[in-house]
Structure 1
Amino acid sequence: MEQLTTSLVPPRPSNKTAPANSTQQVAGSVAKRLSNELMTLMMSSSPGIVSIHRFVTYAAHPHSSLKSAFPKSDGNLFEWVGTIEGAPGTIYVGLTFRISISFPPNYPYVAPTVKFETPCYHPNVDLAGGSICLDILQDKWSAVYSVQTILISLQSLLGEPNNASPLNADAASLWNSPEEYKAQLMRHYRPIKDEST
């Protein structure tokens, strides 16, 4: 009788599958958000943001103006590589810097990790590791920000550092001496085309 009663009771759902499904749903929504951001970047005509046509042009002519970001590989939307060019009128004009962007599984509620891959002599950039001191990548991050916001903010930071919160005290102390600053900047700078050598 006991066996008959137990066989009539429906089996309890296993809790073991719920977290995996939940994790897959979160990863799927993050991937969808990143896909949308990539499409926005590719179609953008905003100043400082590259369209896919301009990216193809840049690949053929690497000295043309470019600010972009895209996944490092087709199979992983969570690891991106980007390019920032110094804006006209700044000490960085004509210099191009490669950045890496790593998105956490809970993006956009948590900021991505962004680092300079090209050595960047700047008051708010750690020259050795590429870490960046920028409020929107830390305590001022908001889920409404995007890769486009990051690219524009980084380009702006190149010309307008926050010397009150330096990661590179030497660069902060030289900022108001343009000739000395430029000499140090060029001593550390490596063009992207030479980074593989």
Structure 2
Amino acid sequence: MGKFSPCFLLFVIFTTSNIVYGLDENSVKEKKCFEPDLSSVDLDYGWVFSFNRWYFTHMSKLDLYRSAWDTLQKKTTDIKENEVETPCLYADWEGFTPSMTGFGEKTLEYDITPNLDNTFNFATSWRNGVGGKMSLVKTNNKNYLLFVKCWDHDDQMSWNVMATTTTLGEQEKKEIYDKIESLGFSKEFIFEQKFDTCKIKEKKSEL
């Protein structure tokens, strides 16, 4: 076998060291789907419907990756880490039809079907109606909703927080973190979204 020239070896080292790999979902998967106890959740629907914009202030890394997957409509292995560092993800609601915006001001509409037990089925048309079910596991009926989500296609769980403001206080964060840990999720995989540099469309008037 012939010897490689030093220049060729340097070229190979340089090019391989500059390869940018896509997101690795397997490294952030935490739990298989389960049915959370929702008996203590008392949701004030009047409060919920008094807001038509919600900000995703916190989420598990898997939920971040899946949100990018649905919004950008490409495999997570084709999404680079820098594409999800500042997602600027928020949702505008008209009834039960949320329009999510993020990842470079791209828009995604989920089809949401409410059930009678604080759970909601969600689906996307681009994946031929495949989605999952999200369950409301905690709220203070003041400024946040905490959901866990079961994804139908691989039976994995993720979670996210929808808030009425772009930031939450330390007390709210503690409540959320305590709850997700009690459900078996890890603080290691929390993604806290920063909106400081986000360009967000003008908010519609409240309902």
Fold conserved between structures, TM > 0.5: no
More strand by share: 2
Structure (1 or 2) with the larger CA radius of gyration: 1
More helix by share: 1
